[in-house]
Structures are given as C-alpha cells and as structure tokens.
Amino acid sequence: MPTTQFDKESIKKSIQGKLQRYNGRTLADATDQQIYYAVASTVRDQIMQKWVAYREKDKSYQGKRLYYLSVEFLTGRSLHCNILNLCSQEVYQQAFEELGLDWRRVFKEEPEPGLGNGGLGRLAACFMDSLASLSLPAMGCTIRYEYGLFRQRILGGQQVEVPDNWLENGNVWEVPAMEDVCEVHFGGYVEETTENGRMKFTLKDYHTIEAVPYDMPVAGYDCETVNSLRMWRARSPKTLDLATFSSGQYSKAMREQELASVISKVLYPEDNHYEGKELRLKQHYFFTSATLQYAIKDFKRRFGTNFMLLPEKMTVHINDTHPGLAIPELMRILMDEEGLGWEEASWIVQHTVAYTNHTVMSEALERWPEAMMKNLLPRIYMILQEINRRVCARLADHFQNGADPRIAQMAVTAYDMVHMANLCVAMSYSVNGVSQLHGDILKEDTFHDYYEFTPSKFSAITNGITHRRWLMTCNPGLTKLITDSIGDKWKREPQLLKELFPFQNDAAFRAEFEKIKRQNKEVFSNLLMQRQKMTVDPDFLFDVQAKRLHEYKRQLLNALHIMVLYNRIMDDPNFTMTPRVFIFGAKASPGYYIAKQIIKLIIAISKLIDKSPRAKKYLRVIFLENYDVSSAEALIPAADLSEQLSTAGKEASGTGNMKFMMNGAVTMGTMDGANVEIHDQVGPDNIYIFGMRADTVSDLYREGTYSPMHIYENNAELRRALTQIIDGTLFPDNPALLQDIYHNLLFNDHYFVLKDFGSYSMAQRRVDADYQNREKWLKMAIANTACSGVFSSDRTISEYNEMIWHLK
C-alpha cells in the first residue's frame, strides 16, 4: 500500500487540487466554505491512511473490545482536534500561512455536530478521544440524528429554537459502512413453539426498520490508533412503490420512507429530564439493537460460536440507562438467534454489560409504561418480565420474605412501569457513579438496597475532560507558556501540570499568564462582536456561568446576586466595586417553562443595567446566544471566575467546572459533584466554597421544615431583589410576567436558592476584593491550572480500564 506524504508542500498541493477538482476554483476565488472542505478532506485523507493501516492490524486482533453505547455524543468540531492529534499543527500552520489562509476563519466553517444535550454527551466525546489516545480498542455507538440539538436565538428577550440541520452541506468525516446494514424489528406478536423439546419464540408480523451505519474516525493523539464512532441512521427497507407513485398517490408512496426515517430524525432536547415519548423508546431500541447485532457478528467472525467467551472478548458499556435495552436485546440474540438457554444467556449478559449512572434526580430516571414496551417490543417485554420474575425471586430469598417492601422498590417491572435503572443495576457487572460524592449517594441513597445486596458491583470514577481539546486546541497561548516552562511531557501525562505549581511565585510567569488571559478575553470579545454585535471590556472580571439551564444548577442565585449589586450601585453614590461582566450561556429545553422564564429574567436584568450609565461602569450582563461546544472553546479560556452553583447533592459531577479550572479560572462553587474534588486538589485558598453541604440538604428535605419566607423576611437586600422581579422594575408594561419565578422561590424554593443566598453573597464579596490584588489572584489562577491534571479524561479512562473493562 503506497503511502502519501503529508508535508507542507503536499498539503498545499492537496488543498489547491481539491478546490480545482470539486469546485473548479482557485484559492483566490474560493469561498471560506469551499476552503474548509478542501482542508478537511486533506486531513481526512491523512486519517484514512492511518485508519486503513489500523484496521488491517485489527483484523487479527484477538483481545477484548469495548462498545460504548450512548444516545448522545456531543463531539464538537473535528478539524482542529484532528490536526492536533495527527501532530500536524505546525505543517498545517505553515501551509496556511503560505497560502494566505486564516486558521480560525477556516475552522469556523465546520458545522458543529450537536448530537448531545450537555454533560452526558460531552463526556462520551471526551472518552472517545482518550480511548483512542491511550490506544484502547473501542467503538462508540449512537444515533445519526439528522437534526442535532436546536440552535438558540434570542429574540424579543427570550429563547427561540431553530432546527439544527447540521448535515445540510454533507459531513466530511463520516463513511457509510453498507456491509453492516441490518434490520431492527418493532411491533408484531410472539409465536411460541417447541422444537426438539425446547421452547422457541419467534416474532411475527413485525415492522422492519433498516439501520445504516456511518463511521467517523477517531484518531488518537500521537499514536497509530484510529477508533470509530458508529452512528446509525434509520431508513425503510422498502424501495419506493412505483405503482402507487404512477397512479398519482405520491404522498402515500413516500409515507413508508418518511415513517421509518423519523426514528433518527431529531435529538430530544431534554437534559436531565425524562419524558415517556414512544418515539424516544424506539430510538433507544433502534441503535442498541443494531449495535448488538453488529457486535455479535464481529464476535462470531473472530471467535465462532463459543459464546461463553463473550465476556472475555467484549464489554458493552451503557452511558446511563438509555441504552439499557442492550440487556434484554443481548439475551434475545443469544437465545432466539443463537440457541442458548436462559441460564447461559443471562450469565453472559451479567458479565458483559457495565453501567454508569449520571443523575440522581428522580425526574430524570427512565421508566417506561409496560403497555408501551409490550406493544412496541413484545419479545423484549417477555424477556424483561422473566428477568423481573427471577430478580424478585432472588431478592425474596435474600430477604427471606417474599413480601419485603424493598422488593417492589428494586423490581425491574412494578406498578405497570419498567424501571430502567433497576434493570441496569440488577443485570450489569459494574455500576459506577461519576464523582466520589455521587458514588456515595448512589450507595447510600439511590441504590442503597442494591448496594447492600451486591456491594462489590459499585464504584465511583470521577469524570474527566480531554486536555487536548480543552487546553491544547482551545488555549494555544497558555499551552505554549506551559510548554516553555515545564517542557512538553505534560501533553502525554497531564498530571505533570503539577510542575507549574511553583511558578505561582515567579513574577515573570505571572505576567505572561495574565497577558494570555487578557488576549483570550479580547478574542472572546471579538467573537461576541461578530455574533451579537456586542463587546466586553477585557479589563472587567469575566464571571461565567455556562451550562444547561436547570433550576438545580441555580442560575437564579447568580441573577438575584446581580440585582443586589445593581441596587447597591444605584442606592449609594459612593459605592464602588471591581468592574465585572457576568456572562451566561444556557439553553433551556423548549418545554421547560420555568427555565425559559429564567432566561427572560437574565436578559431583562442585562437591559436594566445597560440603561444606567452609572451601573454600566461596574456591571454588565451578557447572555451568550446558542452556547455550544465551539462557543465554549472561546469562552472558557477567557473566564476569570467559574460559577458552579448547584444545590449540593444534585450535580452528579459537572465537567464544565474542570474545563474552567484547567484554563485558569477560579471556581465559585458548592460542595457538590466534582467541585469537592477540585477543592481537594487546589486547597481551600484557591477556591470559593459556599452554601449547604449535601448532608444538610438531605436533612432539610427529610425534615420538611425549610421556610424560604423566613429568609425573605430577614434579608432586606434579597427581599428587594425578589420584589423587583414583579414590581415593574424589569417589565414596566407587564410586571406579572415572571411571577411564577417569584412564587416558586417564595413558597417552595425546592433548590434552596434563598437559603444559600447569604453565604453566596459573602463569598462574592471576597472575590471582589481578591481580584484587585493581582498577585494573589494570579497565584490562585495558576494553582488551578497546575492542579487540573487529574481531571484529564485520560486518568478517567485509565481507571475505567483498570476497574471495569480490562482492555489491553
């Protein structure tokens, strides 16, 4: 196989050649988009060459393989990270320079695949990067949504959702794998027969959907490994009915096609929230079934039909419960298609499937009506019932009491619902939480009864982020400073960032660090100008809260505090403070009413402040439209303060917190999720911790004595800010617009916003003072970057591999 060189001259030639062949243009008159495609397909050629070589080696691979199943992979753009992982930054940079191309301008032409909502999907993407970079054999498996997460526009002071047609101009990075097309069956009924004295179950009268795989290469950093992200698209197996078409019934002829393809049409925009929509259940089964059919086919190719080897040769990791139907589906394939008995199939499943939980919020726990499951997946439903019967029998035996109330709590099906989390805990060999605190809560609370039943299954592995995207590509200035100071071994071993710690005391280093932060603020300000026709002053403190909008994440705490600052400025002519811009980035689920009201509130506060020349000198509020991976890559390197305000016990881990820290922002946070571990790493002097601890929160829930009204009555500043929500200060023409926010806070306040307000406000006073002390602040910021190495997903993946997967 001849290999092509990818030196500077051949890269230049390739880009120009592609423009000529694809577009009939020269570089001089090509559009930015055409240039992007020419560059990206040059990089793709380079990856393809490695992919071919890797696959060739892989053919004879006899070891274990990981299938990582996730309904979301929030990958972000690929071009820059691919160039980085190929170790080709320098040659491309030189080639660009000589061709007169602008690096950033080309990158921003790439449509961002928004195939995820937030933390869960982004984690899956970081994991893919680390798996490949650690040369572990893995395939990511998901749905190829035609429309990703909606794009957010702000119009008339509120969120408006626009469809995300990310495939409109084609996707350079994917290749269809037509040899692996398979069928997924829905509906019908189960016929029971006996064959050679054994029960046989056959699905009849089912409806077929075809699953078409598209593979995206995932190249590891500075290594030979190129794994795949496999995305399944749904289509109808029937070709167009020409007779119907000719008779003029166009729409009837098309209907079948369209009905099938809705399954992979659009990503559901709910984050940390369950909605029992049938189409969603179809999506889950669709990609899970297709993946397992492929995995079994590959196993048979490698090892024949000795299925007892399966746990030794593959792990099926399910990212939350959404792909949990992998459990009954694998049993179905082994029993109905491969002829194994229940005992064998069940043993195999219980040694092959591993499960990660990502949330303890009860409204996010996945439950499906039994009737829906039975209708849509009759054979799968039968298997679930049998699993449930056996699980309950084991439990009754264990508790020595068939009527023990714990059994109903732990059952797979109960009260007419299929409880996916119980299914996953009962049937997988490993259950893990995503931070130490979250792992403890799973053991002590969420899955307490299961923990007592099978304690050894449970573990906690703290999340991580890929430092290649979240430092090396998004923050080249800081990357260079780090390398100039401690060499470049940290790129392979991010824990070596620790060596930066003593540089806090180096005045020249601090000055350089400060300069880079300022440049990043300017870059962000320019982006804001392009996108929203706004600027921010880089001399202001950049105070950032960027994450999905959710009541438990408490954007409201931040908003109320801004109102209090505004009032202090307006009330006292001598008041001064450190000038600060509060930047919010947040999408709300389209159906989440209160979340959308909160966006309105933030934007209204922003406008109120902008109307006052005096307030504007100290305070700005920016609502960054359409917060996505690409805008995070510009925003996070510019942040000074990272707001991580979740009610303690609610945020399983958080991963944004780690990205900010790595880029030298100081955390303002509760003792929740991974904030606890960030605190452990940097020490109490390099973080602002406030608010109730998780145990106090759960005590308060249990006692039920919390009275937000009591706090309202005793805190005048807070009372005033709350009143301004409804007294016409924000909406003179419609003072009642946000009354639901007001009422929720005053009469319910489920997330303890008022309770934690005092402590938050005090911690913010310290930030205000500390930021003035440049030396102190920079030392804190540097300490944060220096201590962020453990939060690289390379460490996370190594732990998964040691504790759960055991891949070579």
**Residues catalogued as catalytic:** 358, 547-548, 553, 655, 659
Q: How far is the CB of 562 from ligand 26Q (least distance, A)?
A: 24
- Of 12, 230, 358, 457, which lies in the binding site for ligand 26Q, with binding defined by CB under 6 A? 358
8 A C-beta contact, residue 630 and residue 587: no
- Of 30, 652, 738, 797, which lies in the binding site for ligand 26Q, with binding defined by CB under 6 A? 652
> For ligand 26Q, what does the binding mask look like between residues 218 and 257, x meaning CB under 6 A?
----------------------------------------
Give the C-alpha separation, 139 to 127, whole Å.
Answer: 11
Cβ proximity to ligand 26Q: between 120 and 391 the closer is: 120
User: Which of 694, 667, 665 is closest to 678 using CA atoms?
Assistant: 667
8 A C-beta contact, residue 84 and residue 221: yes
Amino acid at 122: R
How does DSSP classify residue 111?
P
> For ligand 26Q, what does the binding mask look like between residues 409 and 448, x meaning CB under 6 A?
-------------------------x--------------
User: Which of 639, 634, 662, 638 is closest to 783 using CA atoms?
Assistant: 662
Q: Taking CB under 6 A as the criterion, which residues in 751-790 touch ligand 26Q?
A: none
Contacts of residue 102, defined as CB under 8 A and 6 or more positions apart, other chains included, come to 96
Cβ proximity to ligand 26Q: between 119 and 669 the closer is: 119
User: Which of 716, 696, 804, 701 is closest to 758 using CA atoms?
Assistant: 716
Cβ proximity to ligand 26Q: between 259 and 279 the closer is: 279
Q: Is 237 helix (H, G, I), strand (E, B) or coil?
A: coil
- Of 50, 77, 233, 280, which lies in the binding site for ligand 26Q, with binding defined by CB under 6 A? 280
Q: Taking CB under 6 A as the criterion, which residues in 293-332 touch ligand 26Q?
A: 320, 322
Please choose, out of 57-65, 151-159, 487-495, 647-655, the segment that lies near ligand 26Q by the rule CB under 6 A: 647-655
Cβ proximity to ligand 26Q: between 106 and 662 the closer is: 662
Cβ proximity to ligand 26Q: between 435 and 626 the closer is: 435
User: Which of 430, 229, 439 is closest to 316 using CA atoms?
Assistant: 430
- Of 655, 764, 793, 796, which lies in the binding site for ligand 26Q, with binding defined by CB under 6 A? 655
Q: How far is CA 217 from the centre of its chain?
A: 19
Residue nearest to ligand 26Q according to CB distances in the complex: 119
Cβ proximity to ligand 26Q: between 446 and 729 the closer is: 446
Q: Is 627 helix (H, G, I), strand (E, B) or coil?
A: coil
Give the C-alpha separation, 355 to 320, whole Å.
Answer: 6
> For ligand 26Q, what does the binding mask look like between residues 76 and 115, x meaning CB under 6 A?
----------------------------------------
Q: CB 536: neighbour CB atoms within 10 A?
A: 18
Please choose, out of 116-124, 300-308, 538-546, 584-592, the segment that lies near ligand 26Q by the rule CB under 6 A: 116-124
Cβ proximity to ligand 26Q: between 123 and 741 the closer is: 123
Please choose, out of 203-211, 405-413, 652-660, 747-755, the segment that lies near ligand 26Q by the rule CB under 6 A: 652-660
Cβ proximity to ligand 26Q: between 221 and 552 the closer is: 552
User: Which of 644, 639, 630 is closest to 660 using CA atoms?
Assistant: 639
Give the C-alpha separation, 784 to 10, whole Å.
Answer: 41
Amino acid at 752: F
Which tokens belong to 603? 């934007």
Q: Does 673 bind ligand 26Q (CB under 6 A)?
A: yes
- Of 110, 174, 633, 651, which lies in the binding site for ligand 26Q, with binding defined by CB under 6 A? 651
- Of 364, 634, 745, 778, which lies in the binding site for ligand 26Q, with binding defined by CB under 6 A? 364
- Of 67, 274, 777, 800, which lies in the binding site for ligand 26Q, with binding defined by CB under 6 A? 274
Q: Taking CB under 6 A as the criterion, which residues in 500-519 touch ligand 26Q?
A: none
Cβ proximity to ligand 26Q: between 14 and 462 the closer is: 462
Cβ proximity to ligand 26Q: between 149 and 562 the closer is: 149
Which tokens belong to 380? 């799968």
Q: How far is the CB of 72 from ligand 26Q (least distance, A)?
A: 7
Q: Are strands 641-644 and 619-624 parallel, antiparallel or unpaired?
A: unpaired
- H/E segment holding residue 549: none
SS (H, E, C) 642-679: EEECCCCCCCCCCCHHHHHHHCCCEEEECCCCCHHHHH
Q: How far is the CB of 389 from ligand 26Q (least distance, A)?
A: 25
Give the C-alpha separation, 662 to 471, whole Å.
Answer: 7
Instruction: Categorise residue 215: left if φ over 0, alpha if ψ from -120 to 50, beta otherwise.
Output: beta
Q: What is the crossing angle of helices 593-610 and 555-571, to 10°?
A: 20
Please choose, out of 117-125, 495-503, 681-689, 694-702, the segment that lies near ligand 26Q by the rule CB under 6 A: 117-125
Q: Does 119 bind ligand 26Q (CB under 6 A)?
A: yes
Q: How far is the CB of 117 from ligand 26Q (least distance, A)?
A: 6
Q: How far is the CB of 726 from ligand 26Q (least distance, A)?
A: 31
Q: How far is the CB of 122 from ligand 26Q (least distance, A)?
A: 7
Cβ proximity to ligand 26Q: between 213 and 269 the closer is: 269
Cβ proximity to ligand 26Q: between 284 and 510 the closer is: 284
Q: How far is the CB of 714 from ligand 26Q (least distance, A)?
A: 32
Q: How far is the CB of 381 from ligand 26Q (least distance, A)?
A: 17
Q: Does 75 bind ligand 26Q (CB under 6 A)?
A: no
8 A C-beta contact, residue 760 and residue 561: yes
- Of 85, 130, 272, 422, which lies in the binding site for ligand 26Q, with binding defined by CB under 6 A? 272
User: Which of 446, 429, 460, 444 is closest to 364 using CA atoms?
Assistant: 446
Give the C-alpha separation, 472 to 468, whole Å.
Answer: 5
Q: Taking CB under 6 A as the criterion, which residues in 462-501 touch ligand 26Q?
A: 463
Q: How far is the CB of 272 from ligand 26Q (least distance, A)?
A: 5
Q: Does 120 bind ligand 26Q (CB under 6 A)?
A: yes
Give the C-alpha separation, 483 to 480, whole Å.
Answer: 5
Q: Taking CB under 6 A as the criterion, which residues in 515-574 touch ligand 26Q?
A: none
Q: How far is the CB of 277 from ligand 26Q (least distance, A)?
A: 8
Contacts of residue 523, defined as CB under 8 A and 6 or more positions apart, other chains included, come to 634, 637, 638
Q: Does 123 bind ligand 26Q (CB under 6 A)?
A: yes
Give the C-alpha separation, 714 to 383, whole Å.
Answer: 58
8 A C-beta contact, residue 156 and residue 600: no
- Of 118, 140, 148, 213, which lies in the binding site for ligand 26Q, with binding defined by CB under 6 A? 118
Give the C-alpha separation, 359 to 200, whole Å.
Answer: 39
Q: How many residues at the interface with ligand 26Q, by CB under 6 A?
A: 24
Q: Where are the alpha helices (DSSP H) in 304-368?
A: 310-313, 326-332, 342-349
SS (H, E, C) 480-543: HHHHHHHCCHHHCCHHHHHHHHHHHHCHHHHHHHHHHHHHHHHHHHHHHHHHHCCCCCCCCEEE
Cβ proximity to ligand 26Q: between 348 and 629 the closer is: 629
Q: How far is the CB of 104 from ligand 26Q (least distance, A)?
A: 29
Give the C-alpha separation, 386 to 466, whole Å.
Answer: 41
- Of 269, 464, 654, 669, which lies in the binding site for ligand 26Q, with binding defined by CB under 6 A? 654
8 A C-beta contact, residue 210 and residue 120: no
8 A C-beta contact, residue 242 and residue 335: no
Q: How far is the CB of 598 from ligand 26Q (least distance, A)?
A: 17
Which tokens belong to 791? 């939060």
Which tokens belong to 406? 């714990």
What does the binding site for ligand 26Q look like in residue numbers (CB under 6 A)? 117-120, 123, 270-272, 274, 280, 320, 322, 358-359, 364, 366, 434, 463, 651-655, 673
